[in-house]
Structure 1
Amino acid sequence: MFLTILGWIVFGLIAGFLARAIVPGKDDIGLLMTIVVGVAGSVVGGFVVGLLTVGLRGFQPAGWIGSVVGAVIVLVVYNKLTGRKRRVRS
């Protein structure tokens, strides 16, 4: 049980970090929120992949690519809802 939770935390951290690297600009979120974005992105990615492949299968985790895509979606929505995204000036 502990290893499963630890796996989700590490998986969420990596997916959230990759999403933060993909979405342009500076994200003002910490380590915990990065993990939450990654884990939520895995669920969203599983839902989107399920819709695109075999129809609605319910909420389930996705693989790495689906998780990162889902985390990007979650991060963009989070930034829009909270207005926390800072624009990078050139």
Structure 2
Amino acid sequence: MIAHVKGFSEEVENLKRRIYGHTNAFSKRNRRMGAPQDYLDHLAVSIGAAISDFRRLRATGLMAPDDVKELENGLNELREAYTKNESYSGAER
């Protein structure tokens, strides 16, 4: 059981790193040159995968409330950044 919980905790931390890694990379890319469509497409797939992983982990009932809130906030920030850039990119074309 302890190995399962340890593995679960590592999975939660990996998901946090993925979400915040995408958010940071996305912000840096936007400041430098804007996001090309292929990057937006890649990001959309990554956001979808992160949401699926989050839902799967949350459904176990093992996630700490602080982790749930942190991941929800991170996903919301990432979605907002994506939506802003997608509408900006579409207007440029």
Using structure 2 for the length normalisation, give the TM-score: 0.33
Which is higher, the Rg of structure 1 or of structure 2?
Answer: 2
Using structure 1 for the length normalisation, give the TM-score: 0.33
Greater relative CO (CA pairs within 8 A, separation 6+): 2
